[in-house]
Structure 1
Amino acid sequence: MGVSTSRPDKGIALVTVDFPPVNALPVHGWYELADAVRTAGRDPEVRCVVLAATGRGFNAGVDIKEMQRDTGHSALIGANRGCYEAFAAVYECEVPVVAAVHGFCLGGGIGLVGNADAIVASEDAVFGLPELDRGALGAATHLARLVPQHLMRALYYTSRTATAAELHAHGSVWKVVPRTELSAAALELAAEIAKKDATLIRLAKAAINGIDPVDVRRSYRFEQGFTFEANLSGVADRVRDTFGKAQGGTA
């Protein structure tokens, strides 16, 4: 259990997340993920990072039970900072990051894939931000990188999800494949990227980040301020408690 890194092929680092039962990450998990991605990107032998997960789904966001056990705000602050670090690590990784997504990709998962350079998804993959149902806010910054503006708003306000096929139609998912073919498809794209010159691919990543119209780090940090406001006002606890009773306490 945790975050591991392997080398499935020359020039490729595979970072795998494993936090059963649903990959709802505790605070330390987000930091582990950030460290793994940054370490892989700094390795001069690596030209592409593949981010994947085991189990039922790619990512279910933060561990709500961890927050509910905390009588203060340390878990909330830790989760927000951990998510910020993990999202930034993917975005700032010195080489391209390919996200291999299966099952559910919710909450913090959207922050990860929204900051990835490419997404390969299985046919059963769904993407969404159920934050309003879970007493939180955030990652609209990243959902807006996956779907058009008005669809992002509708998905955010309703907590609905979009399928991999729908995201493929919008151009944000590179390829949709049967679940059994997901790993191979992600590694195939990564291998194509990894064939490029090591120095040039890093320059390309820096150049593309430099022309982004939105500073994803700053905009996400702005969103986090409203999450703190919801928690300080008591609204978040009320919604979170209701969700926890109905769903078993993870998000």
Structure 2
Amino acid sequence: MGVCTSRPAPGVALVTVDFPPVNALPVKGWYALADAVRAAGRDPEVRCVVLTAEGRGFNAGVDIKELQRDPGHTSLIGANSGCAEAFAAVYECEVPVVAAVAGHCLGGGIGLVGNADAIVAAEDAVFGLPELDRGALGAATHLARLVPQHLMRTLYFTSRTVTAAELHAHGSVWRVVPRPGLLDAALGLAGEIAAKDGSLLRLAKAALNGIDPVDVRRSYRFEQGFTFEANLSGVADRVRDTFGKEGSP
């Protein structure tokens, strides 16, 4: 259980997340993920990183139970900072990052794939931000990189999900494949990228980030300020305490 890195092919680092049962990451998990992605990107032998997960789904966001066990705000602050670091690590990784997504990709998962350079998804993958049902706000910055503006707002306000096929139609998912073939498809794309000159790839990644119209780190941190406001006002606890109860969203 945790985050591990392997080398399945020349020039490719595979970062795998495994926090059963649903990959809802604790505070330490977000930081471990950030460290793994940054370390892979710094390795001069790596020219592409593939980010994937074991188990039922790619990512279920923050471990809400960890927040509920904390009577103060230590876990909330840790989760917010950890998410910011993990999302930034993907975006700022020195080499391209391919996200290989199966099952659910929710909350913080959107922050990860929204900051990735390419997405390969299994046919059963679903993407969404259930933040309003969980007493939180954030990652609209990253959802806006996957779908058009009005669809992003509708998904955000309703907590609905979209399928991999729908995102493929919008051009944000590169390929949709049967789940058993997901890793092979992601590694195939990563291998194609890794065949390029490593120094030029790093320059290309920096150049593309440099012309991005949105500062994703600053935009996400702005969103997080409203999460803190919701917590200080008591709104977040009121909504979060319904999580997992019968009849809750």
User: Is the TM value for this pair above 0.5?
Assistant: yes
Question: Which structure 2 residues correspond to residues 21-40 of structure 1 after superposition, within 5 A?
Answer: 21-40=21-40
* C-alpha deviation, 1:244, in angstroms: 3.1
User: What is the one-letter code of the residue matched to 2:74?
Assistant: S
* 1:227 and 2:227 correspond: yes
In 2, Cα distance between equivalents of 1:93 and 1:192? 18
In 1, Cα distance between equivalents of 2:198 and 2:139? 31
Q: Which residue pairs with 1:141 in the alignment?
A: 141
Q: Which residue pairs with 1:174 in the alignment?
A: 174
Q: How does the TM-score come out when normalised to structure 2?
A: 0.99
* 1:47 and 2:51 correspond: no
In 2, Cα distance between equivalents of 1:119 and 1:246? 34
* C-alpha deviation, 1:245, in angstroms: 2.2
In 2, Cα distance between equivalents of 1:210 and 1:115? 14
In 2, Cα distance between equivalents of 1:125 and 1:172? 13
Q: Deviations over 1:114-137 (max 9, x none)?
A: 000000000000000000000000
Q: Which residue pairs with 2:210 in the alignment?
A: 210
CA gap 1:247/1:11 in 2 versus in 1, 3 angstroms: farther
User: What is the one-letter code of the residue matched to 1:137?
Assistant: L
Structure 2: any 5+ residue segments left out of the alignment? none
In 2, Cα distance between equivalents of 1:201 and 1:87? 20
Give the number of equivalent residue pairs. 248
In 2, Cα distance between equivalents of 1:40 and 1:214? 25
RMSD: 0.9
* 1:3 and 2:3 correspond: yes
Question: Which structure 2 residues correspond to residues 53-92 of structure 1 after superposition, within 5 A?
Answer: 53-92=53-92
In 2, Cα distance between equivalents of 1:63 and 1:247? 20
In 2, Cα distance between equivalents of 1:13 and 1:143? 25
Q: Which contiguous aligned blocks of 4+ residues in structure 1 show a shift greater than 3 angstroms?
A: none
* C-alpha deviation, 1:243, in angstroms: 1.4
In 1, Cα distance between equivalents of 2:14 and 2:136? 30
User: What is the one-letter code of the residue matched to 1:205?
Assistant: K
User: What is the one-letter code of the residue matched to 1:56?
Assistant: R
* C-alpha deviation, 1:49, in angstroms: 0.1
* C-alpha deviation, 1:246, in angstroms: 3.7
Structure 1: any 5+ residue segments left out of the alignment? none
Identity of aligned residues (%): 85
User: What is the one-letter code of the residue matched to 2:223?
Assistant: E
Q: Deviations over 1:63-91 (max 9, x none)?
A: 00000000100000000000000000000
* C-alpha deviation, 1:247, in angstroms: 8.7
Q: How does the TM-score come out when normalised to structure 1?
A: 0.98
